[in-house]
């Protein structure tokens, strides 16, 4: 039966084979991993010979486990390992772990044996689904001039109305004229990068980098590694200068706009720190009231909710907050509330007791309320409203880069809705 299974298919054999393979892998190094249980007997040697004949291995013996994770059969004082999982040697890398679940019994006296596998699934592309593409690389010379004249003549430039509708009509017109002037590909070849519009310097740098990579692939010597590093660094983006009336505008990583701090990389670290500083500024202005022991705690909490917390959460509706941002806000708020009550961390008073005393909810909940309230406002507005322009939506058919993607506001809202 095993010989009838094609070589290209995955083969798994598992069950009670009624044999002891033992702890030693002598004479069966490729089949036995050396981490079995008990003493080998004649039936166990037949199992090993069977696995050796069909180029398989016993997964139970390839992982160092405690005795309770190796024993598959127990009856009174007798324990043994007679249930095994066998698979082809070519799938050895796919087997992550194989062990026994001590507390679970499949049948009487037999323990549950589990194995984890990880396989790469290759999707079969449908060859009939061919995607044609416009031959934009022909946009040069006389053809480019003809294309320009037709676009100016046939384009819907005189229309007025909604900007989105005008944009769609203009894009459809340009695509239609381009397909007629440049033609369409048959869609047989795989999608390649549009490199036809790169200038000579970029093409030269890319070619040099590829050549260095090929040499490095054949010979990983120190010289080739250094050449590839230099060529790779030469491929980096060059920052240009922005001039206004002949004067170069200085670059900054952060700047303030309408009370919020905007960063070059799109993060909100500076804005959160700025809001915390603004909250402490309001705190110092009202310290005479908040630190007065004659003022009731509930009244101090109401003053905090009215004057200080709004300064800390200004613009928080649009924050894609991470865990560290929420932690910074919570730490700053608790320091303020402890000072209101006249306590420090050395007094060992719980945060919940402090909040209950002044009647202030956690700032994390208020941050979530602000974001969901703004989300509801956006959802109630029509699609053509300007409020929808600022939402960053991740493209569905675009392959993202390596590493964890940047947290967007939409994903933060989805997280809030789950909580």
Confidence of residue 327 (pLDDT cuts 50, 70, 90): very high
Q: Provide mean pLDDT across the span 4-10.
A: 82
Q: What DSSP designation does 5 have?
A: S
pLDDT at 218: 79
Query: To the nearest whole percent, how much of the chain has pLDDT over 70?
Result: 92
pLDDT at 402: 73
- Kindly report, residue by residue over 359-371, the tens digit of the pLDDT: 999 999 999 999 9
pLDDT at 298: 92
Q: Is the pLDDT of residue 111 over 70?
A: yes
Cβ–Cβ under 8 Å, residues 351 and 404: no
Q: Is the pLDDT of residue 394 over 80?
A: no
Tokens 């009856």 correspond to what residue? 75
Rounded to whole angstroms, the Cα distance separating 128 from 149 reads 36
- Kindly report, residue by residue over 168-195, the tens digit of the pLDDT: 888 888 989 888 888 888 766 555 566 6
Rounded to whole angstroms, the Cα distance separating 30 from 39 reads 19
CATH code: domain 2-117 is: 3.60.10.10
pTM of full prediction above 0.75: no
- Kindly report, residue by residue over 246-287, the tens digit of the pLDDT: 888 888 888 888 888 888 888 888 999 999 999 999 988 988
Q: Is the pLDDT of residue 355 over 80?
A: yes
Q: Provide mean pLDDT across the span 229-250.
A: 78
pLDDT at 407: 82
251 to 237, 239, 242, 268: CA distances (angstroms): 16, 10, 9, 18
Q: Which of 338, 218, 318, 211 is nearest to 275 (CA)?
A: 318
Cβ–Cβ under 8 Å, residues 301 and 359: yes
149's CB contacts (< 8 A; 6+ apart) are: none
Confidence of residue 213 (pLDDT cuts 50, 70, 90): confident
Q: What is the mean pLDDT of the chain?
A: 84
List the domain boundaries for the chain.
2-117, 133-185, 201-233, 257-379
pLDDT at 373: 92
Q: Provide mean pLDDT across the span 326-336.
A: 92
Q: Which of 134, 133, 140 is nearest to 177 (CA)?
A: 134
pLDDT at 406: 80
pLDDT at 237: 66
Q: Is the pLDDT of residue 39 over 80?
A: yes
Rounded to whole angstroms, the Cα distance separating 228 from 308 reads 55
- Kindly report, residue by residue over 61-83, the tens digit of the pLDDT: 999 989 888 998 888 888 899 99
Structure tokens at 12: 């798994």
Structure tokens at 366: 């208020």
- Kindly report, residue by residue over 215-234, the tens digit of the pLDDT: 888 777 888 888 888 888 77
pLDDT at 197: 66
Positions of E strands within 81-174: 83-88, 95-107, 110-117
């Amino acid at each position: 039966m095993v010989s009838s299974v094609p070589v290209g298919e995955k083969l798994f054999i598992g069950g009670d084979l009624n044999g002891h393979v033992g702890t030693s892998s002598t004479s069966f190094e490729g089949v036995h991993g050396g981490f079995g249980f008990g003493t080998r007997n004649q039936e166990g040697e037949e199992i090993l010979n069977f696995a050796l004949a069909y180029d398989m291995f016993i997964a139970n013996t390839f992982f160092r486990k405690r005795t309770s994770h190796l024993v598959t059969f127990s009856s009174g004082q007798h324990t043994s390992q007679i249930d095994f999982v066998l698979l082809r040697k070519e799938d050895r890398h796919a087997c992550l772990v194989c062990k026994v679940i001590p507390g679970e019994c499949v049948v009487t006296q037999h323990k549950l044996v589990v194995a984890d596998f990880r396989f790469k699934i290759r999707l079969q592309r449908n060859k009939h689904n061919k995607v044609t593409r416009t031959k934009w690389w022909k946009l040069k010379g006389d053809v480019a001039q003809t294309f320009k004249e037709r676009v100016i003549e046939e384009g819907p430039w005189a229309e007025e109305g909604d900007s989105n509708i005008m944009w769609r009509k203009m894009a459809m017109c340009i695509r239609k004229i381009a397909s007629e002037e440049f033609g369409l590909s048959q869609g047989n070849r795989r999608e390649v990068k549009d490199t036809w519009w790169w200038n000579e310097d970029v093409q030269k740098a890319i070619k040099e980098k590829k050549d260095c990579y090929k040499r490095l692939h054949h010979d990983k010597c120190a010289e080739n590694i250094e050449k590839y590093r230099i060529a790779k660094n030469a491929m980096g983006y060059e920052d240009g200068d922005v001039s206004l009336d002949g004067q170069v505008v200085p670059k900054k990583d952060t700047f303030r706009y309408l009370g919020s701090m905007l960063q070059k990389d799109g993060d909100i670290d500076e804005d959160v720190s700025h809001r915390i500083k603004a909250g402490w500024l309001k705190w110092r202005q009202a310290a005479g009231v908040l630190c007065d022991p004659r003022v009731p705690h509930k009244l101090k909490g109401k003053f905090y909710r009215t004057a200080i917390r709004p300064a800390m959460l200004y613009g928080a509706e649009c924050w894609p907050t991470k865990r560290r941002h929420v932690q910074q806000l919570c730490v700053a708020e608790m320091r303020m509330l402890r000072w209101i009550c006249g306590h420090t961390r050395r007094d060992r008073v719980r945060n919940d007791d402090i909040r209950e005393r002044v009647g202030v909810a956690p700032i994390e909940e208020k941050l979530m309320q602000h974001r969901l309230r703004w989300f509801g406002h956006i959802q109630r507005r029509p699609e053509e409203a300007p409020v929808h322009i600022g939402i960053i939506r991740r493209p569905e058919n675009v392959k993202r880069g390596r590493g964890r993607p940047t947290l967007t506001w939409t994903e933060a809202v989805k997280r809030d809705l789950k909580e």
